[in-house]
């Protein structure tokens, strides 16, 4: 579990990952403006461990999730982390990553699987599922979803990400994942839900 401290809300500065801009246009004779954010395309991977019948997921602290859980009255420059602990910002997700290299999407998916979960999976064992728009309200990106099956002997490291990433590998059985997505407050992105429902519809074993 991550621990956070010294949380400060600061003005936006130039970023290599985000490019904010405004689009103006005329729609049905009405002039409109829309604020957008240019971001990297990405990949996400549904990973199913067939040795133990578990989905392999990742859990990490997401500042945007954390911020959304803080009431407006307390969204000040300095956030009280004793009152609002890191647990509020923990998100369970599919293994995923941005496309920031001159590689194919399946090659990037292979890298992300290894970095985040520790499984070494050949590209020809990674199945394409779908590509879809991500963050249609404010961002301009495409996410490509893949599926792969792994075995215990394919895990060559503990995973956990690289550099300054703090990623926890989480395993869930099918009954556990069904219970999780049935909750009333799910701290996971829509792409996670799409991937899980795709898995349940197309790959999960019939429950007796």
In which band, very low, low, confident or very high, does the pLDDT at 208 lie, cut at 50, 70 and 90? very low
Convert the pLDDT of each residue in 18-61 to its tens digit.
899 999 999 999 999 999 999 999 999 999 999 999 999 999 99
Across 182-202, b (16+ Cβ under 10 Å) vs e yields eeeeebbbebbebbbebbeee
- Say what percent of the chain tops pLDDT 70: 98
Is the pLDDT at 78 greater than 70? The verdict is yes
CB atoms within 10 A of CB 41: 16
In which band, very low, low, confident or very high, does the pLDDT at 206 lie, cut at 50, 70 and 90? low
Mean pLDDT across the chain, nearest whole number? Answer: 92
First to last CA, the chain: 35
DSSP string computed for 10-37: ------SS-EEEEEEEEETTEEEEEEEE
Looking at residue 1, its pLDDT comes to 60
Residue 201 tokens, joined:
């519809």
CA distances, 142 to each of 39, 62, 167 (Å): 9, 20, 23
Residue 56 tokens, joined:
């392999």
- Say what percent of the chain tops pLDDT 90: 77
Are the C-beta atoms of residues 65 and 58 closer than 8 Å to each other? no
Convert the pLDDT of each residue in 166-203 to its tens digit.
999 999 999 999 999 998 989 999 999 999 999 999 99
Domain ranges within the chain, ordered by starting residue: 42-132+139-202
Q: Is the dihedral of CA 159, 161, 162, 165 positive or negative?
A: negative
| CATH homologous superfamily for the domain 42-132+139-202 | Nucleoside Triphosphate Pyrophosphohydrolase (3.90.79.10)
Residue 6 tokens, joined:
């010294």
């Amino acid at each position: 579990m991550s621990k956070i401290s010294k949380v400060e809300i600061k003005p936006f500065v130039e970023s290599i990952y985000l490019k904010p801009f405004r689009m103006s246009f005329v729609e049905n004779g009405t002039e409109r403006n829309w604020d957008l954010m240019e971001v990297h395309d990405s990949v996400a991977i549904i990973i199913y461990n067939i040795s133990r019948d578990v989905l392999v997921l990742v859990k990490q602290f997401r500042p945007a999730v954390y911020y959304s859980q803080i009431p407006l009255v307390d969204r000040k420059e300095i956030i009280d982390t004793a009152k609002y602990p890191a647990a509020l910002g923990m998100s369970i997700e599919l293994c995923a990553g941005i496309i920031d290299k001159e590689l194919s999407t399946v090659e990037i998916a292979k890298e992300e699987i290894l970095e985040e979960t520790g499984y070494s999976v050949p590209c020809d064992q990674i199945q394409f599922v779908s590509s879809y728009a991500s963050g249609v309200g404010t961002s301009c990106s495409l996410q490509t979803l893949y599926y792969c099956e792994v075995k215990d002997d394919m895990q060559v490291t503990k995973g956990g990400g690289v550099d300054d990433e703090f990623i926890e590998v989480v395993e869930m059985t099918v009954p556990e994942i069904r219970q999780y997505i049935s909750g009333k407050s799910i701290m996971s992105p829509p792409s996670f839900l799409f991937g899980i429902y795709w898995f349940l519809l197309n790959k999960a074993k019939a429950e007796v």
